[in-house]
Structure 1
């Protein structure tokens, strides 16, 4: 391994979808390793940062879709040309979808520029679709076969992906689990804000028991389940307040407004719909007594990791990645997935006895320090890069 081999990280979502914090931590984790350096190429909605090139310009918004597509193509081309100029050894692509533009990135990096390519698969849901007979299955398998290595952020996601692939097409040894760098362990203490200060900053009441639903609002995240459970809890705990903070993604928010009206929840829900800027994020988590993740399906949850890093107790659905990280009653809570009654019962029990939350908070932070130190994550990435370079 030569000193300071360069890794070109290409992740177009960045600040547009809240991946900027993740990106910066990934960048830092790689730079912690003596033999590697890294540059990030992302979208222009991302704040400026060391070793970050904002090459994807005007690829989101109301501009003509064809123009945005051309901007995307130009962004990737510029990123790869710059990576070549810097003598990068590996291109690390990120996939939140497996469409034409993602395939373009992969073909250009691998076949045209000749890079070794590592890919992080953030969402395996597309594999679910083709596993049920979708005719595009072979397209997704092409992604995996072209990659020199793939990264997933939970064992659950890795297992879901592997079981849906033909063993003679994809070598499972090329697929690694590396926990997502969703935060920096070193920032644990600096991110702490007194609850009353956080609530004052956000103009939230000091005398309510606050439940937080944070992040993108989409059907798979089960906000409807939480609202219906809240209706039951509010009858017994009238001081409860649900704060919804995040922007809507391919969902009809009016459905949730209808539930709020139907169940008479206006006094129990604070709706803050829209993008949450990075400066306000620590305030939301420190202001909350409990974060609830009533997801129907997920492969990795940055909100879970962020919650645990702030020491904010979490109540989550009892499947997949949540079971991978949460030990019920010790460092978090679980309820039966998609079961409103189970969610309501657990919510009421937690809200009725807030004393248990302090110890859970301490255990959460201990879990985070054990599994998510950036130097450890960076070493795993760089070990993977070294194995790819030695192929």
Structure 2
């Protein structure tokens, strides 16, 4: 029987803060567990409510636009020095890596081996099996470093069975080392008491409008261009339809394409867009104001956006890729589209605004939120993780 509490270090590398909060909240319910979070300034103070959580800000202050290249380089070297020292200093036996740092090949190989030399049991959550392949920028070095990573872990966590299958195709390892554990609900945000009308006022729209939302980091694989074309095709027959787009772009070329499309179709007065990082209060307004969120993704493994939508009880229209096929129940919490074509997205939007899910949206939103909070509870997921750590 273990005489001291189990210590787990969670290495987040500045990754998704919302997911990290949910995961920590699920683990922190166990008093016989000490959790060390290794991250940056962005999550300082985020876990103060949990008595058994210790936060290490090894990354230091966030970069600013005025920082010189030399300043950024020195800060990065200091961070890696602290990261290399950390496994010697901590009493944690288990290292659960959530995301990799700046130099992927180094993190996946040299740093990984260093952790093993220091006697750490290594686990990794593969939020994306191979995001370079998804983005069309894969290389032999990327594949090699990924295979090296997967072969040298005690366990790999994925969110769906399809992800497990893809991982094993990329790197044939013992299937027992790959555990399928679902993504949890986004519990880092609590919906405010704003009314739909109040939320819509912020974006310049009213209750008479049918409001479609696109939210999240913008990249070609997410298919925003498809949604804009579908919206433009529908608008002549649906003059009350409006679109809100919130999210930072992953590349200037794609962002320019989106801006050009909005101008080309004359949608400037019909689309509210913000391509910067938006504060949580604006996110809250968007998910309260919208009638649905559309996710016309070309390729995806898992998505935090759908868990935020379900937290707010907001129906989702998405393509049949990744986690969407397992989470969206047709006509109950959204609609699935066979493929991300303009015609299919337009057809799904037309269908949505003519079915019971939309007509009784206020009541259905409450039901969707309640059902999702139970189905994707971090308390249940945290227990599953701890069982694996203890069993190993």
TM above 0.5, one fold? yes
SS in 2 for 1:117: strand
Cα distance, 1:158 vs structure 2: 1.9
Residues 269-308 of structure 1 mapped to structure 2, 5 A cutoff: 269-308=271-310
Aligned to 2:256: 254
Gaps of 5+ in 1: none
Gaps of 5+ in 2: 49-53
- Tell me the distance in 2 between the aligned counterparts of 1:129 and 1:315: 21
Query: Could you say what the CA RMSD is over the residues aligned between the two structures, in angstroms?
Result: 2.8
Aligned to 2:231: 230
Cα distance, 1:276 vs structure 2: 1.4
SS in 2 for 1:266: coil
Q: How many residues were matched structurally?
A: 378
8 Å CA contact 2:159–2:181 kept in 1: the answer is yes
The more displaced of 256-265 and 132-141 is 132-141
- Tell me the distance in 2 between the aligned counterparts of 1:95 and 1:160: 19
Cα distance, 1:271 vs structure 2: 0.9
8 Å CA contact 1:27–1:39 kept in 2: the answer is no
- Tell me the distance in 1 between the aligned counterparts of 2:307 and 2:158: 15
- Of residues 362, 372, 375, the one that matches 1:368 is 372
Cα distance, 1:60 vs structure 2: 4.8
Answering whether residue 88 of structure 2 is matched by residue 91 of structure 1, we say no
8 Å CA contact 1:291–1:314 kept in 2: the answer is yes
8 Å CA contact 1:260–1:266 kept in 2: the answer is yes
- Tell me the distance in 1 between the aligned counterparts of 2:90 and 2:329: 45
- Tell me the distance in 2 between the aligned counterparts of 1:23 and 1:249: 22
8 Å CA contact 1:152–1:175 kept in 2: the answer is yes
Residues 9-28 of structure 1 mapped to structure 2, 5 A cutoff: 9-14=10-15, 19-28=16-25
- Tell me the distance in 1 between the aligned counterparts of 2:280 and 2:3: 36
Cα distance, 1:200 vs structure 2: 3.5
- Change in Cα spacing, 1:355 to 1:251, as seen in structure 2 (3 Å) is same
Residues 329-348 of structure 1 mapped to structure 2, 5 A cutoff: 329-348=331-350
The more displaced of 48-57 and 95-104 is 95-104
User: TM-score scaled by structure 2?
Assistant: 0.87
8 Å CA contact 1:93–1:119 kept in 2: the answer is yes
- Tell me the distance in 2 between the aligned counterparts of 1:202 and 1:53: 38
Aligned to 2:163: 157
User: TM-score scaled by structure 1?
Assistant: 0.87
Answering whether residue 322 of structure 2 is matched by residue 320 of structure 1, we say yes
Cα distance, 1:82 vs structure 2: 4.7
8 Å CA contact 1:58–1:68 kept in 2: the answer is no
Deviations 1:107-150 (A, max 9, x none): 33223x22111111111234747999953333211101111111
- Tell me the distance in 1 between the aligned counterparts of 2:386 and 2:334: 31
- Change in Cα spacing, 1:277 to 1:238, as seen in structure 2 (3 Å) is same
8 Å CA contact 2:27–2:382 kept in 1: the answer is yes
- Tell me the distance in 2 between the aligned counterparts of 1:191 and 1:161: 39
8 Å CA contact 1:94–1:120 kept in 2: the answer is yes
